[in-house]
């Protein structure tokens, strides 16, 4: 029987309880029980263009058994049909954070995309670039790879997969239906050492997240760069605005850079405070076991991890690749580290008008219309970047920027079974 933790007021719980309604579903291409590494190599070929290591990473990525109640997998927060982020529109429309393996325990941030993340370097604290998670806490300094370190985190986080220890995670993989494949990749004796097997699990997931299946570089914009597609007039104008007047390319460069010299990544892996307001629908505010500060909690991001107030309120710059990928046109996606924004149009409008509309009342007055007459105050104000906030874009120019962002969607993505999961990224 699953343990239930009730820590959310009933009025809020009624709006977020839907998070537990997703079915588990089968693993993708789940192999039959494998008797030995030799059998694995002989009988099991990786799907598509995946290597054996990438394929075992895929099986691990979609394995719900690697959670306390065998109901969560990485894909619950990082699903391909929505650009490798959260795939429940009803959650995105409200708090935008997902519930973990223990009922009632929610993450505190919107899940970022797992795609195009493997190019991020080891965290350089002086330059505040690199690392993984919204706050950079998977630095990469231990394993030499931020992505592998990030893959370890959710398994042991009590708000996410909530496994008690690394041995529990390794034990599940080492008795799984794909255990032979795991040994084929990492050696016959890999399951004899908990630390080594847990690291191998993380590195397998990182290998999959670096694969061409997750990072195909197959958007309309990629085809445009190769001379195989043309941008519409609106998209082309959006690109020009993105690069200059809109200042987007200052943090989301549209040309190749030092971390991937052949393709633009649309992130520089730095950290910034763009003045995003609190998301009052985030259920983390009402889980007083995990969050004793309650509604007074302030997410200080990178500064909290570094214990450096000059970095408070800053969060990692996400890639804009697949920023508008969705399974159907009316699917609600959330934007920003806390999911405050519910459309591309609204977040582009925020960057354009944040400093010109003026602040809303706190609490909101009946006449306040966020995004129309005012914007709520930043969650953390003193480090806000004022390079944006008054871009002087017209309504048509905002629409053109959105049109360009929609060209960054990879054109061929297979959907996969989702697993409900939390995110404290």
Under the banding of pLDDT at 50, 70 and 90, the label for residue 422 is low
Specify if 387 maps to a domain.
no
At 424 the pLDDT is 64
- Alpha carbon distances (Å) from 66 to 28, 274, 395, 408, 419: 15, 35, 47, 32, 11
Distance from C-alpha of 286 to C-alpha of 290, rounded to nearest angstrom: 9
Specify if 34 maps to a domain.
yes
At 14 the pLDDT is 33
Specify if 191 maps to a domain.
yes
Q: What is the DSSP letter of 129?
A: B
Q: Is the pLDDT at 4 greater than 70, yes or no?
A: no
At 44 the pLDDT is 47
Residues of the chain above pLDDT 70, percent: 86
Mean pLDDT confidence for 321-329: 96
Under the banding of pLDDT at 50, 70 and 90, the label for residue 40 is very low
Residue 18 sits in a domain whose CATH number is 1.10.760.10
Under the banding of pLDDT at 50, 70 and 90, the label for residue 34 is very low
Strand stretches in 232-371, DSSP E = 271-272, 315-316
* Domain total of the chain: 1
Burial 210-237 (b: 16+ CB within 10 A, else e): bbebbbbbebbbbbbbeeeeebeebbbb
Q: Is the pLDDT at 86 greater than 70, yes or no?
A: yes
Specify if 159 maps to a domain.
yes
CB 120 within 8 A of CB 131: yes
At 9 the pLDDT is 38
Residue matched to tokens 């009342």: 361
Nearest in space to 70 (alpha carbons), one of 14, 119, 125, 27: 27
Question: Is 248 in a helix, a strand, or coil?
Answer: helix
Q: Is the pLDDT at 355 greater than 50, yes or no?
A: yes
- For the chain, what is the mean pLDDT? 89
Q: What is the pTM of this model?
A: 0.88
Query: Using CB atoms within 10 A of its CB, is residue 132 exposed (0-12), middle (13-18) or buried (19+)?
Result: buried
CB 282 within 8 A of CB 93: no
Under the banding of pLDDT at 50, 70 and 90, the label for residue 412 is confident
Specify if 349 maps to a domain.
no
At 6 the pLDDT is 34
Distance from C-alpha of 176 to C-alpha of 201, rounded to nearest angstrom: 12
Specify if 190 maps to a domain.
yes
Specify if 343 maps to a domain.
no
Q: What is the DSSP string of 192-215?
A: G-HHHHHHHHHHHHHHHHTSTTT-
Parent domain of 194: 10-209
Cis peptide before 363 (omega within 30 of 0): yes
Under the banding of pLDDT at 50, 70 and 90, the label for residue 48 is confident
Specify if 411 maps to a domain.
no
């Amino acid at each position: 029987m699953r343990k239930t933790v009730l820590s959310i007021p009933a009025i809020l719980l009624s709006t977020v309880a839907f998070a537990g309604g997703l079915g588990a579903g089968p693993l993708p291409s789940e192999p039959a029980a494998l008797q030995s590494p030799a059998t694995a190599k002989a009988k099991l070929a990786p799907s598509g263009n995946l290597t054996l290591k990438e394929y075992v990473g895929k099986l691990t990525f979609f394995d719900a058994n690697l959670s306390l109640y065998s109901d969560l997998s990485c894909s619950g927060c990082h699903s391909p049909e929505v650009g490798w982020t959260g795939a429940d529109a009803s959650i995105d429309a409200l708090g935008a954070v997902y519930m973990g393996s223990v009922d009632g325990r929610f993450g505190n941030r919107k899940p970022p995309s797992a795609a195009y993340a493997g190019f991020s370097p080891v965290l350089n604290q002086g330059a505040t670039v690199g690392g993984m998670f919204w706050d950079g806490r998977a630095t990469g300094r231990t394993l030499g790879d931020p992505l592998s370190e990030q893959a370890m985190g959710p398994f042991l986080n009590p708000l996410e997969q909530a496994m008690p220890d690394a041995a529990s995670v390794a034990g599940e993989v080492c008795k799984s239906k794909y255990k032979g494949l795991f040994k084929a990749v990492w050696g016959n004796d890999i399951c004899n050492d908990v630390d080594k097997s847990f690291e191998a699990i993380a590195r397998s997931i990182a290998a999959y997240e670096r694969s061409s299946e997750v990072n195909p570089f197959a958007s309309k914009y990629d085809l445009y760069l190769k001379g195989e597609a043309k941008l519409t007039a609106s998209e082309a104008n959006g690109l020009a605005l993105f690069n200059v007047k809109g200042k987007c390319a200052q943090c989301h460069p549209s040309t190749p850079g030092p971390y991937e010299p052949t393709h633009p990544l649309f992130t520089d892996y730095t950290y910034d405070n763009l003045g995003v307001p609190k998301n009052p629908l985030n259920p983390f505010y009402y889980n007083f076991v995990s969050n004793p500060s309650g509604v007074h909690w302030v997410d200080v991001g990178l500064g909290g991890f570094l214990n450096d107030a000059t970095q408070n309120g800053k969060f990692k710059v996400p890639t804009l690749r697949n920023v508008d990928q969705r399974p159907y046109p009316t699917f609600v996606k959330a934007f920003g580290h806390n999911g405050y924004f519910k459309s591309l149009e609204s977040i582009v409008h925020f960057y354009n008008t944040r400093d010109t509309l003026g602040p809303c009342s706190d609490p909101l007055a009946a006449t306040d219309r966020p995004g129309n007459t005012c914007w709520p105050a930043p969650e953390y104000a003193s480090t806000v970047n004022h390079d944006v906030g008054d871009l002087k874009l017209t309504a048509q120019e905002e629409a053109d920027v959105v049109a360009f962002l929609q060209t960054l969607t990879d054109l061929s993505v297979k959907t996969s079974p989702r697993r409900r999961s939390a995110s404290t990224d």
